[in-house]
């Protein structure tokens, strides 16, 4: 990577990391607020609605973000400014078609979904409202791909932060109006705030795009034909879209089955919704919160890998892939250990929920696999392996649905914890195997896994011996305790990594010497 491009990558990564951290902080704080207002049952009901909405978003976007990122990255990298404009016009037209189609379908099918799928008529008004937000979501996805492709991610990040802030503000005010009327109307208030924020987000992105396009003014008569660009767009987006449809449908089915299967285990309707809401709307945001740092780098890897692949620079691909794998493992193993050490405090201080604390402790060991899978998927998409990634995701979702039907009626919530472990391991191993095979990266298991694991065990053991996991009195004391653990971990890792490096260099130096002695 050239020096100028490297600094641009670092700058964009810092911007996206900061934006990601801010967004995750707002999301977790917002979830705490919603939990207090709606209760665990209300959160479960809202999560059910959003699981159906997730499938609608999948249909509305239909792979356009990846297609827009790759098309604009290749055109901007080669200086084909005319093709850049054509590509975005094709992407916007594609988004209008699929976004409009998804909106109409959700609006028409909302009564059937609420009555027969969700088996709760309280979800109908919220689903109808969400249908109107799918078109702006699709257009925003295409525009976000443009800013990622031209390496001006700060515009997209600033819009996301603004939109999230507006969502919180609008939702809080809407809840004050709708909450007294019951959970059904409370869900309407939350959805209404999010829908208005999506419209504003699209308008801001569109204004940013119009202003940014002025720097790419093609020479008169230099516009390329649209047909080849449309074919390229379809070749990238449609395979991803079809695979994503299947996976998203299966994930939605899984989310709908979880409360039903928990009731078969003996839990009541309210208890089932509460357990479901605790896992997906309270615990998962905590587990994924630190991934904002890695997510920024992963998102920027797609255009970089696409450009290197187009230029045939295999050595650079291998070097960057190896560095990203090592960074991800060091970060995620440390994060998993810290979350395990402070699980009780995380659950009780943030949510005042012992159940959430227990689930954090149980699921923390999955963090390295989840984070690694995100990085590997980004590398594979940049290398044109998006179809393979989606096929693995479909198999993962099929396996998950089957295990939910098999385990949850017998084992309840603990059965779902087992489902998460099996499916994350399956997905992570398949994706990592493919990436290692394509890039020919050699994994240093001792340095990339063994040393971080030893460092985090040492750090958490030391902190646990000093103060244990006694409940923190407030968020500030919890944050200080986590930062102290992280500092001890980084210190131990640096020491062990230095010793490991010296041993490797000594071994490498002694190898030829032993070979010469053997010849003598």
Contact residues for 114 (Cβ-Cβ < 8 A; gap 6+): 120, 121, 122, 123, 124, 127
Residue 220: pLDDT band (50, 70, 90) is: very low
pLDDT score for 92: 92
Average pLDDT over residues 281-302: 77
Contacts of 115 (CB under 8 A, 6+ apart): 121, 124
List the structure tokens of 502. Answer: 């010296």
Mean pLDDT on 205-226? 68
Domain boundaries, the chain: 21-212+226-242, 290-503
Q: Kindly indicate the confidence band of residue 369, based on its pLDDT and cuts at 50, 70 and 90.
A: very high
466 pLDDT band, cuts 50/70/90, is low
Residue 510 or 162, more confident: 162
Residue 170: per-residue pLDDT: 87
Give 377's pLDDT tier (boundaries 50, 70, 90).
confident
pTM of the model: 0.72
Average the pLDDT over 344-356 and give the result.
85
Residue 418 near residue 411 (C-beta atoms within 8 A) = yes
Weakest-pLDDT range from 44-58, 411-425, 498-512 = 498-512
Query: pLDDT class for 221, splitting at 50, 70, 90?
Result: very low
- Mean pLDDT computed over every residue of the chain: 81
- What would the two tokens of residue 308 be? 């290197």
Confidence category of residue 102, pLDDT binned at 50, 70, 90: very high
The CA distance from 400 to 408, in Å, is 11
Share of the chain above pLDDT 90, in %: 22
The model's confidence at residue 329, banded by pLDDT at 50, 70 and 90, is: very high
Return phi, psi of residue 5, to 5°.
-65, -35
């Amino acid at each position: 990577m050239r020096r100028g491009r490297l600094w641009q990558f670092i700058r964009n990564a810092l911007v996206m990391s900061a934006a990601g951290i801010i967004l995750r902080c707002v999301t977790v704080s917002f979830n705490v607020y919603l939990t207090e207002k709606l209760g665990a049952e209300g959160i479960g009901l809202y999560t059910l609605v959003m699981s159906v909405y997730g499938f609608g978003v999948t249909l509305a976007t239909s792979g356009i973000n990846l297609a827009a990122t790759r098309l604009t990255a290749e055109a901007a990298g080669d200086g084909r400014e005319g093709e850049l404009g054509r590509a975005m016009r094709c992407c916007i037209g594609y988004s209008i078609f699929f976004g409009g189609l998804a909106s109409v379908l959700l609006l028409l099918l909302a009564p059937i979904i609420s009555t027969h799928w969700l088996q709760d008529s309280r979800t109908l008004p919220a689903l109808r409202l969400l249908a109107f937000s799918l078109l702006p979501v699709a257009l925003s996805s295409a525009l976000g791909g443009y800013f990622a492709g031209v390496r001006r991610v700060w515009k997209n990040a600033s819009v996301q932060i603004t939109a999230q802030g507006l969502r919180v503000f609008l939702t809080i005010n809407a809840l004050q109006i709708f909450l007294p009327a019951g959970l059904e109307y409370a869900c309407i208030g939350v959805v209404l705030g999010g829908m208005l924020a999506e419209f504003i987000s699209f308008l801001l992105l569109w204004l940013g795009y119009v202003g940014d396009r002025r720097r790419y003014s093609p020479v008169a008569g230099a516009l390329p034909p649209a047909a080849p660009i449309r074919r390229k767009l379809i070749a990238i987006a449609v395979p991803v879209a079809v695979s994503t449809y299947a996976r998203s449908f299966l994930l939605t089915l899984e989310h709908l089955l979880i409360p039903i299967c928990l009731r078969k285990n003996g839990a009541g309707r309210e208890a089932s919704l509460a357990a479901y809401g605790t896992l997906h709307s309270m615990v998962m945001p905590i587990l994924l919160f630190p991934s904002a740092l890695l997510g920024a780098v992963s998102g920027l890897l797609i255009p970089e890998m696409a450009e290197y692949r187009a230029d045939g620079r295999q050595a650079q691909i291998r070097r960057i892939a190896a560095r990203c794998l090592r960074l991800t493992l060091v970060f995620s193993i440390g994060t998993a250990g810290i979350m395990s050490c402070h699980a009780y405090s995380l659950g009780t201080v943030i949510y005042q929920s012992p159940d959430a604390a227990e689930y954090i402790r149980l699921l923390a060991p999955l963090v390295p696999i989840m984070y690694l899978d995100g990085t590997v998927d980004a590398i594979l998409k940049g290398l044109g392996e998006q179809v393979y990634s989606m096929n693995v995701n479909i198999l993962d979702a099929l396996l998950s649905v089957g295990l939910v039907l098999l385990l949850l009626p017998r084992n309840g919530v603990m059965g779902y914890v087992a489902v998460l472990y099996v499916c994350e391991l399956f997905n992570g191993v398949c994706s990592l195997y493919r990436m290692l095979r394509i890039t020919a990266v050699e994994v240093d298991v001792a340095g990339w896994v063994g040393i971080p694991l030893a460092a985090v065990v040492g750090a958490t053991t030391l902190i646990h011996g000093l103060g244990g996991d006694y409940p923190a009195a407030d968020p500030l004391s919890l944050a200080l305790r986590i930062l102290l653990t992280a500092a001890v971990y980084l210190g131990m890792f640096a020491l062990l990594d230095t010793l490991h490096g010296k041993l490797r260099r000594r071994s490498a130096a002694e190898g030829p010497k032993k070979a010469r002695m053997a010849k003598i």
